[in-house]
Structure 1
Amino acid sequence: MNERAVAITSLQSALAALELAGMQRRGELRRRLRVGDEELTALLHLAHHERLAQRRLGELTGLSRSGAGAMIQRLEEHGYVRRWADPEDRRLRWIELTPAGREALDGASPVTLDDLTTEDLVAAGRVLDQLVGEPVSAPEADDIAPADGVPVWRHWG
């Protein structure tokens, strides 16, 4: 095997380990936040996008319209999110992470990046962005493109 093939095999192994760590981390986050898988998925999308339309959040979690509404209500009761009607289009309901929700999500994270240097953080971010491809753009309206394929590790730290 040449040097490049060895490097590719090593990276693929590291990425598999990263995915497994992400799966374990999801379970830990769910337990610490006392939420289900759909709620955690919603919180992670909101942490990444800042705000999402209620309909889109339902699509991203795989829930029906009424299921998404119930999930959002539970997250509101925890104080993790807030929802409001768009002032220009009252049919559109926006959901965003509250400061308390952001703090809970950050505080529940079992991962710390404190031991990495700034240079290491920048380099890791650059490599991971290249592996992910095009960055997921922030949604502007109810008809945003899917954010499928965004790995859990993008939300660490």
Structure 2
Amino acid sequence: MTINEQEIIDYVNSIISHPIAIYDVKVHARNKRYLIELYLDNFENKYGSVSIGECETVSREFSSLLETEKGELDFVLRVSSAGAERELKIPSDLQRFQGLLVKLKHRNEEGKEMEKVYKILSVNEKEVHLEVFQKGKKKKAEEPIIVNLSDLIKGNLYVSI
């Protein structure tokens, strides 16, 4: 018995509903045994956090569905939240997490790669307006910067403790 990523997505989507959504699915197969890693998102939570209870419910319902639909499938299932410092899906997550801190890797005007922590001020279809994050005592605030979406390389939510 086999299973693929699209089947998993279809099964999970049949048991979850808004605001819970699939953030990512990873499937690892070894010797007819599958490790299924399911990462969930919550669109009503400011940070996208999913509770342990929600993960347990999805895990229980998905396992039951798999046992019914794919009875002979040998699998280990891990269900979790996408995480506090999840990777951003650019550009859609920039709008969603506006006002929060993010760690962005991007090219500057000279084409040099740089990585800093910013607060997302605003986003439009071409660019993102950012404020450099300064931990601790307030120094003289830097001017907000504008980065073209095409210059963004990767980003993650950032948690400052």
TM-score band, normalised by shorter chain:
under 0.3
Higher RCO structure (Cα 8 Å, ≥6 apart)? 1
- TM-score scaled by length of structure 2: 0.22
- The structure in which a higher percent of residues are strand is 2
- TM-score scaled by length of structure 1: 0.22
- The structure in which a higher percent of residues are helix is 1
